[in-house]
Amino acid sequence: MTTATSSMSPIQAVDTSQDVIRCVGLSKTFKDFWLRNRVRAVDNLSLEVHRGELFGLLGPNGSGKSTTIKMMLGLLHPTAGRISILGKRPEDVAIKKMIGYLPEESYLYRFLNARETLDYYARLFFQNRLQRRRRVDMLLEMVGLEAVQRRPVGEYSKGMQRRIGLAQALINDPHLLILDEPTTGLDPIGTRQIKDLLLELKSRGKTILLCSHLLSDVEDVCDRVSIMYGGKVRQEGTVDQLLTKQESTTIEVAKLDDKTLKEVCDLLTSRGIDITKVDQPRMKLEALFMDIVHQAQAEGVATSGASAGGRIAEFLSNESSLAVTDSASRGQILDDLVKVLPVKQEPVKPKVAAVKPKVDNSVLSSLTESSPASRSTGDGAAKPFEEPKSSTPAPKKPVAGNHSVLDDLLGGNDK
């Protein structure tokens, strides 16, 4: 791979100029056992979620939000209409690795602890051992579960399970993040942290679809909002467009004394402007709560359970550095696959000469040798054995009166 473009992952292969989510005329009708139309959950829905946008999908229970999300994920097939996710159909397996999903109820393995849970989901995306360890460490610190990472997930509270569920949705550094009620069960600290995290992810180029019943959370973080009822979109627009009262004007200044305030009221009345309310602004209860908690943390007051969380995980990179990071990671994996491992040299064993079995030639010698009389000379001295000069020894002629043992066995002693 010579260039980053040639090693580009499916995330970079997506045409980012188009909408990340596009639904046109989407409808879903559930049928009963007799195939009769029972309920129309989604009715001719059309919406668009742009790249790098934090989009809020709102509506009461039964309005069709969860059904719409399941059709976006390919878990349900629409009765009518078309859906495009990252430029592809929801059933396309290639886009699954680019989506992070946090359902309304996190169905986690209750006997696994937080670290084992995240490691399991990281294995599903074929992450190597070093990458899994780094991402798990960063995510546990980010969601504030680092101190309780060894406890089984089944012992976690509702809010702590939502924290580990959010970490699970981010383990693959998704391009599109779909969150269904992410702040349910969280304390105000966790809620504030989740909202800050969503804003940080949006600034890094992530596209987020947020579905929540806590309207104040949606108001704080979403760019655009779509409000559903009865399976249809009733109103859609930016938060400012939907919430701004065009018939009223608010002027906020420093505190005025009674004399100055009376003069301002008299001036407005003389111009025919009715004053509907004169009041001092109030801070939100969430801001007051966070101030009290931060003061207690500064004083070093101890607490149990989940902490306030740490910095955002570094691997949740923005889109500009995603190609380089992914290319380097996969390049390292390819290097590991094609790397020639050194051959282990086996110790050379000394060659041992083959030992020929010893043959007892005593019997053979006794059969082939002549009798003692034939080996004796005339003076009674024993004559030494002489090797024949030729390679093929001539057969010995039997001496008259002298018979070898072999001749006796072969019957040569017959007179």
- Stretch 286-297: mean pLDDT, rounded? 71
379 CB neighbour count, 10 Å cutoff: 5
Of residues 116, 110, 142, the one with CA closest to residue 307: 142
Q: Give the pLDDT band (50/70/90) at residue 115.
A: very high
Share of the chain above pLDDT 70, in %: 67
pTM of the model: 0.65
Residues 6+ apart with CB under 8 A from 215: 58
Q: Within 10 Å of residue 410's Cβ, how many Cβ atoms?
A: 10
Backbone angles phi, psi at 136, to 5 degrees: -65, -45
Q: How would you list the strands of the sheet with 37-49, edge to edge?
A: 37-49, 21-31, 80-85
Query: Which of the pair, 31 or 374, is modelled with greater confidence?
Result: 31
Q: Which residues contact 67 (CB under 8 A, 6 or more apart)?
A: 28, 41, 42, 76
Q: Band the pLDDT of 378: cuts 50, 70, 90.
A: very low
- Quick check: 176 and 207 in contact, CB under 8 A? yes
- Residue 27 in this model has a pLDDT that exceeds 70: yes
CA distances from 120 to 3, 77, 99, 239, 414 (A): 32, 28, 17, 38, 99
- Can you spell out the DSSP letters for 289-301? HHHHHHHHHHTT-
Using a 10 angstrom Cβ sphere, with 0-12 exposed, 13-18 middle and 19 or more buried, the burial of residue 163 is buried
- Predicted confidence at residue 364, as pLDDT, reads 52
> SS3 of 207, please?
strand
Specify the pLDDT at position 376.
Answer: 44
End-to-end CA distance of the chain: 102
The beta-strand segments (E) located in 212-352 are 224-229, 232-238
Please give the pLDDT value at position 30: 92
Q: What is the pLDDT of residue 18?
A: 66
Query: pLDDT at residue 411 above 70?
Result: no
Tokens of 129: 């051992």
pLDDT at 171 over 90: yes
pLDDT at 396: 54
Could you give the dihedral angle defined by the CA atoms of residues 56, 60, 62 and 65, in that order, rounded to the nearest 10 degrees?
Answer: 0
The predicted-structure confidence for 173-227, as pLDDT tens digits, reads as follows: 999 999 998 888 888 888 888 888 899 999 988 999 999 888 888 888 999 999 9
β-bridge partners, 376 = 382
- Across the beta sheet with 176-180, what order do the strands follow? 99-102, 176-180, 207-211, 54-58, 224-229, 232-238
Average per-residue pLDDT for the chain: 76
What is the number of alpha carbons within 13 Å of residue 4 lying toward its C-beta? 12
Is 183 within 8 Å of 212 (Cβ atoms)?
yes
Q: How many CB atoms lie within 10 A of CB 282?
A: 8
Pick from 81, 74, 83, 80: which is nearest to 101 by CA? Answer: 74
77 versus 13: the higher-pLDDT residue is 77
The phi, psi pair for 169, rounded to 5°, reads: -70, -20
Q: What percent of the chain has pLDDT over 90?
A: 28
